[in-house]
Amino acid sequence: MGNYFSSMFDRLWGTNKELRILILGLDGAGKTTILYRLQIGEVVTTKPTIGFNVETLTYKNLKLNVWDLGGQTSIRPYWRCYYADTAAVIFVVDSTDKDRMATAAKELHMMLSEEELQDSALLVFANKQDQPGALSASEVSKELNLVDLKDRSWSIVASSAIKGEGITEGLDWLIDVIKEEQL
Amino acid sequence: MSTKTYKKSENQIAGELSDKMTIYQDCMNTFNELPVNAKRCRILISRLLRLLANGETFPESEATALFFSVSKLFQHQDDSLRQMVYLAIKELSSISDDVLMATSSIMKDIQNGSNLVKPNAIRSLTYVLDESTAFSAERLLKSAVVNKHPAVSSAALCTSYHLLPISETTIKRFSNEAQEAIVDLKQFPHSSMDNSEFYPNSTFISQYHALGLVYQLKKNDKMSLLKLVRQFAEANTLKNQLAKVQLVKLVNDLIHRDPQLFTQFQSLLDNWLTNKYESVQLETAKLITSFSINNSHLVSQELYISAINTLRSLLTVPRVTTRFAALRVLNRISINNPEKIMVCNPELESLINDSNRNISTYAITTLLKTGNAKNISSLVSTITKFIHEVSDDFKIIIIDAVRTLSLNFPQEWKSIVKFLIDVLKNGEGGLKFKNSIIEAIIDIVSFIPQSKELVLDNLCDFIEDCEYNEILVRVLHLLGKEGPFTSKPSLYVRHIYNRVVLENSIIRSAAVISLSKFALTKNDPTLKDSIVSLLRRIANDQDDEVRDRATIALELINASENKHSLVAEQLIQSKYYYDLNSLENKLTNYMSANDDSFKTPFDVSSIRKFTEDEVKAMKLKKKQQQAVGNNVENTKDAVVPGTKQTDNRIDNDTYQGANLQEHQEDLLETKYADELLSIEQFKEFGNLINSSKPIPLTEPEAEFVVHAVKHLFKDHVVFQFNVSNTLTNVVLDKVTVACSSEGDNQLEELFTLPIDRLLPNTEAACYVAYKKDEAFAMEGFINILHFTTRELDPETNEPFENDEGFDDEYEIDPIYLTAGDYVKSSFTGNFENTFAELPSEDVAVYNIKEDLSLQEITDKLILNTSCLPVSNTQFAPNDTNSHTLKLFGKSVFNGSKVALVVKMIKSSKGIALKAQGRGEDATLCADLVNNLM
C-alpha cells in the first residue's frame, strides 16, 4: 500500500521521470572524478576515458542519468551523438590550465549552439580550486565569455572534486533550475 | 523448419526492405527512450542480429546511428540486456568505425561487472581496440587470463589470441599468465554441486585456448616449443580433448621443421595412438602417415602399422564423423601407397553399404586405388552391385576412379570393360554419367589396343538403343576411326547403316562420315562397293546435311580409286593433329592483317603437326601429371598445421588455378616459337623442329631473372635467354649472354642478338645461334650475362644524359644440350613387342652416390630423356628397393622410335642403374643411353 502511494506521489511530482545530464569538458578537467564523487561520494583513480561512463543516481528524489563523455580531441566529435533529450550540461574546466582556456571556450560555445541543447541548463565547474595558481570562478567566467549567453539558465561554481568542495552546491542549483523550468 | 523456408515465409508477409527499415526505426526509438525498457530492447536487438546474420547490411551512417543508440543502453544494469548489447557491438563493429566509443564502458564491465557479462565484455575488446588503445587493456586482460572462472579465462585467452596481430608487444607480456592457464584446471564455481544435472562438469576448454595462445607466442622458438610438448606430453595435465589434439598438431609442426626430431617422438606418438579420445588417435595417425610420405626412412615400420591399425579400428566406430575422417586419411595414403592399406580392405568393403553416401563413395574410390592385379575383378564385381544404388554425381566419381584403374592395370582390361559396358547398357543415369562412361571407354580403346574388338562389338549393341544424340555421335566417330582396322569391318558397317535407317538427321550425318571412312581405309573392293551403294541410297535423304555429306563422301571415294588425290584421304582420315594454339594464333593474325594478305592463301604448313601417337603421349603425360599434381597438393595440405588457416586457403586457390596455368604455359611456348620465327636471321634455318620448356637459370628472387629455351632446327641450335630486370630506376643496355663451351666444340657459334635496352620490370629475349654439324650434338655451356647499367631519371623515365653507364656481368647457371632434347614423348600400346622389334641396342650402367629416393631418380629420368613413361612405371613404390622404368619416345627429326628399360636398385651405397636402350637410329639410342644423368 505504501508503495502504491509513493508511486502515485512520484507521478504527481514527476520524480518518476529520468533526467539525462551530460558532463563535458576538455581532457583532464576532472569529469570522471566528479561523476564518481557524485555517485559514490569518493575519489577514485581514473584513466583517460575512451568513450564514456554512464551512472544512474538519485538526487533529491530525482533519478539522474549522468553521462561522462571523454574529452580527448578524438572523442569530442562524438559528443553530439548524446545531445538528444538532455536536461542539463555540466561543463568542467581545469582552472589551472590557462593555455587551453580559449579552446575550452570554443568547445563550449560550439556545443551550446546545437539545436538539441537549446533548452538545457548549463552548470560550469571551475574545477581544481585546490591547486595553486587556479583562476577564480569569475576569472574563468570571463575567459569563457559566459556573460554572452542569452536565453539560458547558467551558473558557474568554483569546485574541487578531490576535496569535494562546490560539487553539491552546483548540483543543488542545477536541480532547482530543472525542476522550475522543465518539470 | 529450416532457416531457408523460415526466411521465405517471412519475406512473403513483409517485403525485405520494409522489414529492415521497420526494425531500424524501432531500434532508434526504443533505445533512446527513457527509462530503458530492458525486455523490449533485448527483443529488438535479437531481431537486428537476425537481420545482420541473414546478410542484410546498413549504410555506414545508419550503422553509426544504430551503434550510438545501442551504446545508450549501457545506462541500464540488466545483465541479459548487456550481453545482447555486446553481441550488437560485435556485429556493428564491421560496418561502423565508431565502436571505440564503447571502450571505457567495456573496461568498466570487465572490472566490476558480474561473471555473466564479463566474458562477453572481454570478447568484445577484440573489436574495439586498435594498436594505440590495446595497451590500456593490458592489466585487465592479464588478470582475466588467470581468473578462476573458466569462462572469463577462456574469453581473455581468445581475445589475446585475436589481438596478437593487432598489438604484438602488449600480448607478448602475457606469456607467463597464458602458460599458467594451461596447467590451471579451472572448475566452474559451482563445482561443489558435482553431478548436478543442470551444470555440466568443466570441459577445461580454457586449456585449449591457452595452449593456442602460447603456441602463437612461441611459434618462432623451436626450443621452447619442444619444452612445451615435453611438459604436457608426459604428465597427464591436459584434460581437454581439443587441447590434446592441438598438442599433436604442435608435434606435427615441429617435425616438419626438423624431420630428425621424429625419432624422439616415436614412443609418444605410439602412446597417443591408443588415447581414449578418437580425435587424438585420428590426428596422430594422420600425422604419422602424412609425415612418412616424404620421410619414410624415419618412420619405423611398427609405428606405421599401428597407425594403420588405429585408422582401421576407427572405421568401425558408430560416430559418422570419425568414420569419415579416418576414411579420408586412408584415401590420402591410397594415392601414394595403396599397398599399405590393403589390410583395411574388409572394413572398406563393409563401408560400401554405409548409409552415409559420402562415406560409401570414399570407400569405393579408396578400394579402387588399393586394387591390384589380383583383386581387381572382385572389386569390380562389388562395384557393379553398388553403383546402381547411388546418385549420378557419385557414379561419375566412381567411373573416373575405374578409368584411372584401367590405365594403371592395362592387363586387367577385360573385367573393367565388362563392368563399363554393363553400366552403360543397363545402368540408369543421365547424359553426364553416360558420357563419362564413354570417355572411359574411349580412353581404354586408345591406350589398350587389345581391347578394341570387344569394346566395339559391345558399343554396336549399345547404339541400337541409346537415347542421347551426343553419345551416339561419339560412338559412331569411334567406330569409324577404329573399326576399319579390325578383322570384321562389315559387321560394324551393318550396325552403322542401321542407324542411318532409324535415327534422326544428326546421327545420320555422323553415320555417313563413319561409313565413308570404312570405304576409304579398307582396301577391300567388295566392302567398298557395298558402302558406295549404301551411300548412293543415302544421297537421296530428305535432310540437306546428310545428302551433302553423302555426296562428298562418294566424290572422295571415286577420287581415291583413281589414286589422284591423297587430299581426300587426309580430309576424312586425318593422320595429323595441328597444334591448336599456334593455329588459332596464326589465323587471328591472318584475319586481322590488311586486305593484301588475303591475296595469298593461308599457309598451314608452318604450323606444328603432331601424329596420333604424339597426341596420345601428350594426353597420357598430362593425365599422369595431374595424378602426381593432386598428390603433391594433398601432401602439402597435410603438412600445414591446422592453425594456419590462411596458408591453407592460398594453397587451394593455386590448386584451382592449375589448369589455367597449364594452358598459359602452352600459349607461352607458342608465343616464343612465333617470336623466334619472325626474326629475319632465323628464317634461313628452316622449320623449327622442337623447343624445350623454359629452364630457370637463376634463383627466382635474383636481381635479374633469366630463363632459357632451347630451340632446335635441322642444322642449327638457338638458345633463347629471357632476361627480366627486377630493379627499379636502372635500365640495362646491350644485354648479351656469353656462352662458352665446356668441352669439345661440336657447335660453331654463328651470331648473338642482344637486347638493346631492358627497362625496369620488363622482360625481353636475347638469342645465341649455333651451327651444328652432327645430328645429335651434345654440349654444356657456361653462361655469363653482360650488360651496361644506366640509372634512370625518375621524371622522364629516360637514362640521365651524362650517365655513361658502366659495364657489368652476372653469372648464371650453365645450360646443357642433351640427348633428351632430340626426343619427344610418344605412345605405344604394347611396349614389350615394340621394344623387341627395334634393331639396335645399347646398354649403360650408372652408379649414383647422392641420397635420392627411387621416385626422385624416376622423375629425373623422365625429365632428362623427355620420353613417356609407359605401363604405369612412373611411380616407384617406396617399400621396395628396386624399380623398373619403361620409357618410349621418338626422334624429333625423323620420328625414329627409341625405347628404354631402366632397372634401378637402391642399396646402402647408393643407387645402381642399368639402362637398356633400343632404337631405330643407333646414334640416338646410344646417345640417350649414355647420357641419362
Q: For residue A72, indicate whether it is catalytic.
A: yes
CB B749 within 8 A of CB B778: no
B275: which DSSP letter? -
Q: Among B162, B154, B153, which residue's Cα sits nearest to residue B128?
A: B162
Chain B environment of A78 (Cβ under 8 Å) = 68, 98, 101
CA B35 to chain A, closest CA, distance in angstroms equals 6
Chain A environment of B103 (Cβ under 8 Å) = 50-51
User: For residues B444 and B450, what is the distance between their CA atoms, to the nearest angstrom?
Assistant: 9
Question: Residue B788: enclosing H or E segment and its boundaries?
Answer: strand B779-791
Nearest-Cα residue of chain B relative to residue A67: B75
User: For residues B812 and B697, what is the distance between their CA atoms, to the nearest angstrom?
Assistant: 6
Question: Residue A121: enclosing H or E segment and its boundaries?
Answer: strand A121-127
Q: Do A65 and B34 touch (CB under 8 A)?
A: yes
- Return the C-alpha torsion angle B727, B730, B736, B741, nearest 10: -50
Three cell numbers at B658? 592449375
A29 has binding-site annotation? yes
Q: Do B71 and A78 touch (CB under 8 A)?
A: no
A156: helix, coil or strand? strand
User: Cis peptide leading into B760, omega within 30 of 0?
Assistant: no
Q: Do B75 and A50 touch (CB under 8 A)?
A: no
Three cell numbers at B862? 623422365
pLDDT, residue B286, reads 92
CB B206 within 8 A of CB B186: yes
Q: Do B133 and A51 touch (CB under 8 A)?
A: no
Nearest-Cα residue of chain A relative to residue B66: A81
CB B735 within 8 A of CB B787: yes
State chain B's maximal CA–CA distance in angstroms.
Answer: 106
A148 has binding-site annotation? no
Beta bridge partners of A65: A20, A56
B 66-105 → A contacts, CB under 8 A: 68, 71-72, 74-75, 77, 98, 100-105
CB B20 within 8 A of CB B11: no
pLDDT, residue B112, reads 85
CA A50 to chain B, closest CA, distance in angstroms equals 5
Nearest to A50 among B35, B68, B103 (CB): B103
Helices B205-218 and B175-183: crossing angle, nearest 10°?
Answer: 150
Three cell numbers at A132? 595553486
Which ranges of B295-430 does DSSP label H, i.e. alpha helix?
301-314, 320-336, 345-351, 357-370, 376-387, 392-408, 413-426
Per-residue burial over B794-803, b if 16 or more Cβ lie within 10 Å, else e, is eeeeebeeee
Question: Residue B898: enclosing H or E segment and its boundaries?
Answer: strand B897-907
pLDDT, residue B324, reads 93
- Nearest 5 degrees, angle CA B310-CA B311-CA B312? 90
pLDDT, residue A16, reads 59
A25 has binding-site annotation? yes
* pLDDT < 50 regions, chain B: 1-17, 628-659
pLDDT, residue B284, reads 93
User: Nearest 5°: phi and psi at B792?
Assistant: -95, 140
Test the B interface: residue of A53, A54, A65, A79 with most B CBs within 10 Å: A54
pLDDT, residue B325, reads 93
Q: Is A60 left (phi over 0), alpha (psi -120 to 50) or beta?
A: left
B 700-739 → A contacts, CB under 8 A: none
Q: Do B101 and A78 touch (CB under 8 A)?
A: yes
A33 has binding-site annotation? no
Q: Do A52 and B34 touch (CB under 8 A)?
A: no
Test the A interface: residue of B33, B75, B125, B130 with most A CBs within 10 Å: B75
User: Is the Cβ of B29 closer than 8 Å to some Cβ of chain A?
Assistant: no
User: Nearest 5°: phi and psi at A71?
Assistant: -105, 5
Nearest to B104 among A49, A63, A85 (CB): A49
Three cell numbers at B421? 559396358
pLDDT, residue B486, reads 80
Three cell numbers at B707? 630463363
Nearest to A53 among B34, B104, B136 (CB): B104
Helices B241-257 and B278-294: crossing angle, nearest 10°?
Answer: 10
Q: Among B714, B734, B699, which residue's Cα sits nearest to residue B894?
A: B714
- Give CA A116 to chain center in angstroms: 16
Test the B interface: residue of A81, A83, A86, A116 with most B CBs within 10 Å: A81
Question: Residue B732: enclosing H or E segment and its boundaries?
Answer: strand B730-741
pLDDT, residue A103, reads 93
pLDDT, residue B627, reads 53
B708: which DSSP letter? E
Chain B environment of A47 (Cβ under 8 Å) = 136
The verdict on ipTM greater than 0.90 is no
pLDDT, residue B566, reads 61
Neighbouring C-beta atoms of residue B740, cutoff 10 Å: 11
Note down pLDDT in tens along chain A; length 183 residues.
445 555 555 555 555 578 889 999 999 999 999 999 988 888 888 888 888 999 888 888 888 889 999 988 888 988 988 888 888 999 999 999 989 999 999 999 999 999 889 889 999 999 999 999 899 999 999 999 988 888 889 999 999 999 988 999 999 999 999 888 877
